[in-house]
Structure 1
Amino acid sequence: MQIQKSFNETSNGEGKLYLVPTPIGNLEDMTFRAISTLKEVDKILAEDTRQSQKLMKYYEIETPMHSFHEFTSVHQVKQWVDYLKSGHSIALISDAGMPLINDPGHPLVQSALESSLSVISLPGANAALTALISSGLPANQFSYYGFFPRSNKDQLEILDQISQRKETAIFYESPYRVHKTISKIREILGDDVLLVIAREISKKFEEYIRGSASELEEYLEKQPLKGECVLLVNGGSEIKQHKRVVDDSLSYKDQVLGLMDEEGLSAKEAIKQIAQYHQVRKQIIYAAFHELDQESK
């Protein structure tokens, strides 16, 4: 058990680790406290010092800055913890938004806490929550999933989870992949599930695109997007409940038949979804279903 009194002066003279949020677009989205903290600490650790230098210059922050990224070694983490133990203070910042949210930093925080050092998080900008409260979707319950999965199997698993939950789901997504992602969501959760894309949050070209999965997919076919996106999916009763019944112990043919029976799918669609689930070519499932290849599973 550990109890941290964040703002009590430590008797042993050890320093503190501050987690300081930075703007997600508009440089003026800094709090007075964040600026003063960055000016007062002994060192600033940044994921990309070149990117963060723009912010430092804007607010005339001259604190020495060093890199801290996903490739930072365990040895370097120990060096920074020793630096804190010697009585110095450090601010950890992200390129944009809250540190540690889809960003490096956890090893440093974990190591600092294991050494009984104070870790103090400052409130500030966060793209996921900013998008949520402006989305029009319920904000009283939500789940943040990070970036939308890349593999078909992981996509199916996470969308099946969402179909059975009531809260709003939040993802980060690349503008180059968001069309494909929405197509997958539409395929699994249905045409009418409500979605919101928030892009370029707090910047000049900030935009919220709200509508059904079918409407957004049609829109994106004609209008490619730019800028990092936050994608929100409505939960609850308005989602088409997608009951994926896949028993891996059954043959491919029986799995297809089960999906057709449980969800009223055509053979073609069931074959496609079983192929996606197992990440195999549709021809393999097709052959097994039509008993063209007696050696198939």
Structure 2
Amino acid sequence: MKNSTTGGAGALYVVATPIGNLGDMSQRAIDVLNTVDLIAAEDTRHSARLCQHFSINTPLKAYHDYSDQAHSEAMIAQLKMGKDIALISDAGTPLISDPGYRVVKLARDADIDVVPIPGACAMAAALSVAGLPSDRFCFEGFLPAKAGQRLNYLQDLMEEERTMIFYEAPHRIVDSLTAIVDVFGAERELVLAREITKTFETVLAGTAHEVLQRVEADPNQRKGEMVVLIKGFEASEKQIDAKVEHMMRCLLAQLPVKQAAQIGAEISGLRKKALYQWALDNKPG
């Protein structure tokens, strides 16, 4: 498995594992995990069960992004000595809101081959069945746990035109959906994909308010792994009408253009960029 382009060094394999259904484990992933010298796993106890299921006897070692620098450098040293290492997370593709960035960066900086072994990814699976625009999207990971930070984070995305994808924990899903309704509006299209590939897989689609109501009404919808997808902002949804123009003229009489546009966007829900340009074109004398 050694790659001749790295002068005898080993290779770091970034291996996707199932997010629920073990049938999604690829034969290539099994072969790699069987033949590398070491598997670096987010949780060795969890990964031991996966290895047992597929009769993989390769040694496991814990690795996560909280590992200290010395731990990461020790892995790089092993790779330089010719060892092949596979990096896996608890589920899905490593580095997609999962550990691995640090050691991958160190490996690439050391000219060590980093080889992707693709497979399951909750984000991609949810997007494929959501029925939302998929030609342009952004993955935002987990929303902040604290309410104020969560609202601020979402407000920064008010003008985002791409489909937005988030992961969320079950104990925060109601609070997060409530914040989404408050910031994006009750009518924004939203999809909640829950327990993808697992026994109780569910995909709820509708307006943000409709999905929130269904989750509040059914305790089962507040369990498991969750992906939230929000349709992006459509510039045509709102226009700068006479009322907004009047508001902006009042703001511009007292405030700089940038601040007037910011406040106007928060009040009207319109894009800050559009209001900023309008303010530049209409600022008094």
Q: Give the TM-score band, short-chain normalised.
A: 0.7 to 0.9
Return closer, same or farther for 1:166/1:71 CA change in 2, 3 Å cut-off.
Answer: closer
Secondary structure at the residue paired with 1:144? strand
Corresponding residue of 2:83: 88
Partner residue of 2:191 out of 193, 196, 202: 196
Corresponding residue of 1:236: 233
Shift of residue 73 of structure 1?
1.5
Amino acid at match of 2:227: V
Shift of residue 144 of structure 1?
0.2
User: Is residue 163–residue 240 contact of structure 1 (8 Å, CA) maintained in 2?
Assistant: no
Is 1:211 paired with 2:206? yes
Corresponding residue of 1:227: 224
Corresponding residue of 2:107: 112
Shift of residue 115 of structure 1?
1.2
Corresponding residue of 1:132: 127
Shift of residue 20 of structure 1?
0.3
Which structure dedicates a bigger proportion of its chain to helix? 2
Is 1:53 paired with 2:58? no
Amino acid at match of 1:98: T
Secondary structure at the residue paired with 1:236? coil
Secondary structure at the residue paired with 1:56? helix
User: Is residue 3–residue 10 contact of structure 2 (8 Å, CA) maintained in 1?
Assistant: no
Corresponding residue of 2:96: 101
In structure 1, stretches of 5+ residues that fail to align are 1-5, 265-297
Amino acid at match of 1:237: E
Amino acid at match of 1:135: A
* CA deviations over 1:156-195 (Å, ceiling 9, x no partner): 3432343312211000001111111111111111111011
190-199 or 100-109, which moves further after superposition?
Answer: 100-109
Partner residue of 1:176 out of 171, 178, 189: 171
In 1: Cα distance, 2:147 partner to 2:236 partner: 20
Shift of residue 152 of structure 1?
4.2
* CA deviations over 1:220-269 (Å, ceiling 9, x no partner): 221122101000001132896699x999x98xxx99xx6699439xxxxx
Amino acid at match of 2:53: Y
Is 1:263 paired with 2:276? no
Corresponding residue of 2:137: 142
* CA deviations over 1:125-178 (Å, ceiling 9, x no partner): 100110001011111110000001234454334323433122110000011111
What's the RMSD between the two structures over aligned residues? 2.9
In 2: Cα distance, 1:162 partner to 1:197 partner: 18
Is 1:156 paired with 2:151? yes
In 1: Cα distance, 2:6 partner to 2:74 partner: 22
Shift of residue 110 of structure 1?
1.2
In 2: Cα distance, 1:82 partner to 1:200 partner: 38
User: Is residue 3–residue 113 contact of structure 2 (8 Å, CA) maintained in 1?
Assistant: no
User: Is residue 40–residue 88 contact of structure 2 (8 Å, CA) maintained in 1?
Assistant: yes
Amino acid at match of 1:180: D
In 2: Cα distance, 1:261 partner to 1:89 partner: 53
Identity of aligned residues (%): 39
TM-score (norm 2): 0.80
In 2: Cα distance, 1:49 partner to 1:102 partner: 18
User: Is residue 139–residue 168 contact of structure 1 (8 Å, CA) maintained in 2?
Assistant: yes
| Count of aligned positions | 252
Corresponding residue of 1:35: 30
User: Is residue 41–residue 90 contact of structure 1 (8 Å, CA) maintained in 2?
Assistant: yes
In 2: Cα distance, 1:31 partner to 1:214 partner: 38
User: Is residue 24–residue 126 contact of structure 1 (8 Å, CA) maintained in 2?
Assistant: yes
In 2: Cα distance, 1:89 partner to 1:241 partner: 55
